[in-house]
A and B are shown apart, each in its own frame.
Chain A
Amino acid sequence: MKLYCLSGHPTLPCNVLKFKSTTIMLDCGLDTTAALYFLPLPLVHSPRLSKLPGWVSKDGAINLEKKELLDLSTIDVILISNYHCMMALPYITEHTGFTGTVYATEPTLQIGRLLMEELVTFMERVPKAQAATCWKNKEIQRLLPGPLKDAVDVWSWRKCYSVQEVNSALSKVQLVGYSQKVELFGAVQVTPLSSGYSLGSSNWIIQSHYEKVSYVSGSSLLTTHPQPMEQSSLKNSDVLILTGLTQIPTANPDGMLGEFCSNLSMTIRAGGNVLVPCYSSGVIYDLLECLYQFMDSANLGSTPFYFISPVANSSLEFSQIFAEWLCQNKQSKVYLPEPPFPHAELIQTNKLKHYPSIHGDFSSEFRQPCVVFTGHPSLRFGDVVHFMELWGKSSLNTIIFTEPDFSYLDALAPYQPLAMKCVYCPIDTRLNFHQVSKLLKDIQPLHVVCPEPYTQPPPAQPHRSDLMLELQPPPMSYRRCSVLGLPFRRRYERIHLLPELARSLVPSEIKAGVSVATVSAVLQSKDNKHVLQPVPKPAPVPPSKKRKRVMEEPPEVLNPKPLLSGAVPLEPFLATLHKNGITEVKVEETADGHILHLQTEDVLIQLEEDATHIICDNNEPLRTALRDLVLRFLQKL
């Protein structure tokens, strides 16, 4: 059993598990932090950005965490745990010869599609006249300024995929529901379990009859909108692959939410605008819910909230229809005449308005001061670029970062100098180290595999020994391009007996509760299932004596020799010898048993735990007689 680690990013994992005869890819996250090396893609011509010295804006390119570690076409299935972890799917399923199936839950597929479409729209609506690749040459890159010259693996940066590729990739997705058991080639069974992180997010169990591997990715124990995490099914795992813990372990989501609300209301009270760069699905639902409750108490009732994204409408609507994937509290609302999420009410009362982009209706209805939720959190593309240009100059305005994926200082770099206030309130509801150590104590996996960063304190806080995994035995850690041999050996395989064969068996009890029988059968292996069938009767020998095809003749069936079991007890055996006229016996004790020396006959009998030897020279009748005496004490099968 091997694990190929294609990504070293702890929250955007991409691992391949070879288990029995299957090759399973676990998630394919897309690390877009490389976008930070590029200039923002403005929607409206920005004289300031275009006047920046040095480099003209290039195509939005993306870092793809892949290496030629293994042939992608050999992958049988891809298991997706949440919509953030599937963004690289088109790179894997398209143009690689991939012929397998992708498994994901319905919300994961739908919201994942939205996020991909949004990304594509962001890229395609500001097309680039030219694409440049020459600079990626090591020689040229060395001469480049600033951080760009230190960027690693620039050759793996790829152009963004297209809508066709997205559609084609998503057509390979097979939908699954929580706890649904999916058979893979009869060899293993995979099951998604609710992970509590986002709509439709799942952990996976991959098990055969005798082995169980759990894959935990992006889970949350907090009470937010999705269905709570299912923990008990993760028990008794041989291996637990642990990824997707919180990226900001020092920030408690509750405290950050409070921080978010107080900064927001402080800005609004002072007459400023608030910009929240965020993904179009996920934490935004919780933010809107929190604000819904907070608005009245903070006297923000009349402040408009704008949600701008090409998929804003679909995202808000989709969230309301995935009732079965929601937490209990919201599920029960489905039976009432009110929608599960309160953002519907915000929309009805015109407090929350959503637009596909800043062009069109938005520009005529836009009113300040206001709160704008829009993407992309990297501040390099999407409508957020426009608001940064618009509001950056006033110290009354505030930008509040809630997504933890990007360093906010790097994201802000091209907009400096900035008068706008910046607040960093990363809200990451995924498991923290305290929760995960409690979880692991509970579910007791034999071995834990995790990304290397989890095995040491964060580099910025080397003294925080509480912010790492401390387990006994210590977890196996991986980094990008590691290949791990998972530390357990498969020892058993399940084989079926056909009823007619079973009927023919004669079990004999060798000790209480254990019976043994010999089986003679033909083992048939097909589709990773093994069946013992009765031995076919030898075909009646054809009258013709011509044996043309000797090879086809079934093997001659011999009755197998009986198997012996039991031990020869010394005293009764001596008594039997005596009865049979052998009286002069010298008994010698050895490490393994006894040696009997029959002095008159000059015969040695070695009685050992697992063997008995009769040594006598050229006296076959005596040997046979002695053998029969020994056999009296043993059971035959």
Chain B
Amino acid sequence: MDSDCLSLLPAVCLVLADPKQSPPDDTSLEKLLDWFKELHSQSNGQVLLQHQPCLLEFISNVCTSKTTDPAILSFTLKLTGLLAATTQGFNLLDEGGLLVYVFEREAWGVCDLWEDASVRSGWLQGLLDMLKHQQALGFICGNGLIKVILQLQNDRSLFVACLANQLLVHILNFLTSSNMTSGSDVVGSSESSLRPDWVSASSEIMNAVVEALSSEDCPRVLQGLRLLSLVLSQCGEPIISTLWKDVLVPLEVFVNRGSESLIQTLITVLEAALGTPLLSQSEYKVEELLEAMLGDGNRKECFQCAALIVKLEKCPEVLKRKATDIILLPLQCVSTQPQAEKEINVVLKEQLSQKASCISLLMQSLSSLAQLAHTKYLFEDISIHSITSSVALLLRMCSGHCPSSLLHINAFTHLIGCCKVQRCGLDTLGALSVYEENLDLRKDIFGVLLDYLQSPDSHATVLKKTFQAVKRWIVCSPFPDLLQFISHDLFPVLEKRMCDLRWEVRDSTLEFITQLTAALNGNSGFSEALHTSGMVSVLLSSLADAEGYVRASAVAAVGEAVTASFHQTVLVSNSKLLEDALMQMMAILSQDTEGFPRRAVVQAFTSWLKGSHLIMALESSLSSVLSLGGSDFDWEVKMHTLELAEVLMEKTLTCCPYAVQNFGSSEETRFTQALIKFKDFGLFDLLFNSLFDCDRPVCEKACALLVKLGTLTAETADLDHSILVLNVCGNRWGDEVQRRYLNKQQAKASVCVTNGVTGSDEGTDCDLHCTKDISLPKILQILDLDDMQRMLTLSSDHVVNSPRSLMEDILSAAQQSEENIVDCY
């Protein structure tokens, strides 16, 4: 394919270099570059330039042209960088002085093109791509390009500035690594091996960072800090420590000044520093700086800083403790009584008295706490018990309850009905369930959560978070005591919520029940409560909800309830439940106008089948599920049906380890029996129909399943073909099979004719007539599944997406525009 493309390349180059042509859109150029990149990576060593001299011509044309379009120039810069990434390519380009010509902007035909950001970014990208070998480095250093790159670091375009930073880091990195290699290769000190212009290049970059940090200009400082953090995270020694020594003084100034706009970036720098060997050496003061950022919790920005430090992964323990103490202050201040007057933090109190800052502080506090809880962080100075009570109290305050002892801070009125804090608090409360110390708080916490579930003012999203928290607390608690809570308090509320006006609430309630049932799978107490409390009948009635999403969730919930019921000692109601559920679900699958509930039904069957207890009970419905699901017009329903078929195949074909081996039943007969069963279920109809479906994923899945089946059939040598004969008349897949069958027979016949063999022994004549019944192995053979599978794995746009079609497009667009010009006369 590539050779085709290469033959088109000269023409494409001509079109692109032609200033009269309007350039193709950016995406085509990007795709073209991608193709070059791919070519470059494949052609290990073999230089594209040698074989395609048109490229050199193209590059020099573009650069000298007086009317080059910025998009084309940018493309050319990137392309040149890519081509110069190998030493051979570099040399080829350098020989004619072309390289200098390309990257020396004064040499371009049009000077003011540099004003275009895409050109600047192309320039940087080209250099970045080129920088794969020492010659490239020499080129950059030797031609004074470092200065330009440093200027671009403060470019007004963010992309350009970011790219410049990356390039600088890359250069520094390259300098160090080439230093190391040359140090090891060449006998003698590494210092002497480093070319003098390289030494000056690295010091130029580092000086620029120091200069930027000492400047008064905030955007410049930010860029300097960004570069610093990149260097810290991507470069090695000795660069890091050299640079750090120089920037330490300005960093200390920033930290002590505590300006709000720099905090985030400063923290990123310090975070990067934490990951370096700098941390272990006290003279580099990394820890000291972080600690200074925190202060003693009396500055406005210390909370933001603490929130960031808490998130750090490689943070010294002492620092993390301090940050944790500070970030918990807002929460404690709102929800506990001050011990003494002096303890009240003035800055904090002022911040809490304003609505916006109060809410954001509490959210920071809560989300940091949740983060700590996820890692099961061990709190030292504060008991997790009191923290959890604080969160519970805060949630109570949000719903309008407040003990009068806490009215010293007027944050209370900001909190009433505040959904943001409620959601965040509920998340945190859920996360805190991992601590065993909280077990005795359970009653209080369930009380708070129940209040939220009962409150008519709870927002739908708040309810969803409440459900999540309830689930976490239920799952982590010892069960027997909970049963009372679940059946007496929780279930009645859920029952009411399932009648809520808002469908979102009904939906999340049902989802919650599903999750809870699944999480407590095998817990007989819970399943019994579920069935005796009348919950199941409410679930069944939700199957007729007006909203499709709710019906889908109801299907899932009923599915789980049925699964749970079979873990229980057999109750009379169980079979009744299954019967009711099956009837309603089949009605949904066959009649529901929306896709979600139908998908849910098929999924429920799949999960039942996986659970294996129910196969006997389900057998009667399985064939209709397969046929209804397979002929659904929603492709996802079809996919789920195929997944169901897959599970069915697995379950039937893999031998059950506990099953008593039937005396005399061989592997083969069991396989044959399984196939007969599949035929009865209509599995083959489903698979073959899906194979010729209009949706590619469906075909792919069906094909994969059939291939699996084909392999098994082929392995089973003495399979009795006559048993598994399928009727191929009167359906689409049958016609297709028949057509292919006839084609094959004809081909065979013609081969026979040309070979002069009469078909007396094969009996082709009679086979050429319409065949009604063909055996399964034969069909699998006729269909040539491997080939089909190969075709199907190619994405549907594989033809239009090829580089060849891309080039053809560029060419034809050029031709058309010429025609258009002609038309104008």
Contact = CB atoms under 8 A, between A and B. Distances in A.
Contacts of B501: 257-258, 261-262, 294
Interface stretch (B384-392, B442-450, B542-550, B668-676): B542-550
A259 B404 contact: no
A94 interface: no
B412 interface: yes
Nearest to B412: A463
B497 interface: yes
A294 B496 CA distance: 15
Contacts of B412: 463, 465
Contacts of B546: 296-299
B544 A259 contact: no
A269 interface: yes
Given A252-B457, A465-B413, A466-B413, A262 B497 contact: yes
Interface in B535-567: 538, 541, 544-547
Contacts of B457: 252, 255
A506 B388 CA distance: 85
B407 interface: yes
A297 B501 CA distance: 9
A429 B100 CA distance: 78
Nearest to A250: B400
A481 to B, nearest CB: 32
Most chain B beta-carbon contacts within 10 A, residue among A255, A256, A425: A255
B402 interface: yes
A257 to B, nearest CB: 7
Contacts of B413: 465-466
Nearest to A251: B456
Interface string A242-276: 00000000111001111101111110011000000
6 contacts: A255-B458, A258-B501, A262-B501, A298-B499, A463-B407, A465-B410
B495 A297 contact: no
B502 interface: yes
Given A263-B496, A297-B547, A258 B541 contact: no
A266 B500 CA distance: 9
Contact of A425 (B456, B502, B534, B545): B456
Contact of B538 (A250, A269, A299, A465): A269
Contacts of B503: 297
B496 A463 contact: no
A363 to B, nearest CB: 30
A266 B456 contact: no
A548 to B, nearest CB: 82
Contacts of A262: 496-497, 499-501
A464 interface: yes
B456 A258 contact: yes
Contacts of A255: 455-458
Interface of A: 250-252, 255-259, 261-266, 269-270, 294, 296-299, 425, 461-466
A425 B455 CA distance: 11
Interface string B473-513: 00000000000000000000001110111110000000000
A463 B404 contact: yes
Nearest to A463: B402
B527 to A, nearest CB: 22
B319 interface: no
A294 B403 CA distance: 39
Nearest to B458: A255
B709 interface: no
Contact of A269 (B402, B410, B499): B499
Most chain B beta-carbon contacts within 10 A, residue among A261, A263, A265: A265
- If over half of B's interface residues share one DSSP class (helix, strand or loop), that class is named, otherwise mixed; here it is loop
B707 interface: no
Interface in B375-421: 400, 402-404, 407, 410, 412-413, 416
Contacts of A294: 501
Given A255-B457, A259-B456, 7 more contacts: A258-B502, A261-B501, A263-B499, A266-B496, A297-B503, A299-B544, A464-B402
Contacts of A266: 495-496, 499
Nearest to B399: A250
A297 B458 CA distance: 21
A462 B404 contact: yes
B814 to A, nearest CB: 59
A259 B453 CA distance: 12
Nearest to B457: A255
A296 B546 CA distance: 7
Interface in B446-468: 455-458
Nearest to A264: B499
Contacts of A463: 402-404, 407, 412
A465 B416 CA distance: 11
Contacts of A264: 499
A266 B538 CA distance: 9
Most chain A beta-carbon contacts within 10 A, residue among B497, B501, B502, B534: B501
B490 to A, nearest CB: 15
A294 B400 CA distance: 29
A425 B407 CA distance: 29
A452 to B, nearest CB: 22
Contacts of B400: 250, 461, 464
Given A463-B404, A463-B407, A465-B413, A265 B456 contact: no
A269 B541 contact: yes
Nearest to A299: B544
Contacts of A297: 503, 545-547
A466 B499 CA distance: 32
B547 A258 contact: no
A600 B508 CA distance: 108
Contacts of A257: 501
B398 to A, nearest CB: 13
B410 to A, nearest CB: 8
The 9 closest A-B pairs by CB, nearest first: A255-B456, A297-B546, A262-B499, A259-B456, A255-B457, A265-B499, A258-B501, A466-B413, A266-B499
Nearest to A266: B499
Contacts of B458: 255
A1 B142 CA distance: 94
Contacts of B502: 258
Contacts of A250: 400
A392 B456 CA distance: 25
Contacts of A265: 499
Contacts of A299: 541, 544, 546
B456 A252 contact: yes
Contacts of B404: 462-463
Most chain B beta-carbon contacts within 10 A, residue among A257, A262, A270, A464: A262
A112 B564 CA distance: 59
Nearest to B456: A255
B700 to A, nearest CB: 39
A487 B545 CA distance: 60
Contacts of A298: 499, 546
Nearest to A290: B501
A461 B547 CA distance: 39
B513 to A, nearest CB: 15
A466 B355 CA distance: 14
A257 B500 CA distance: 10
A465 B455 CA distance: 21
A99 B379 CA distance: 79
A466 B398 CA distance: 13
Nearest to B500: A262
Nearest to B492: A266
Nearest to B459: A255
Given A265-B499, A462-B404, A256 B456 contact: yes
Contacts of B455: 255
A262 B497 CA distance: 7
A258 B413 CA distance: 25
Contacts of B547: 297
Contacts of A462: 404
B67 to A, nearest CB: 62
B592 to A, nearest CB: 15
Contacts of A251: 456
A251 B495 CA distance: 22
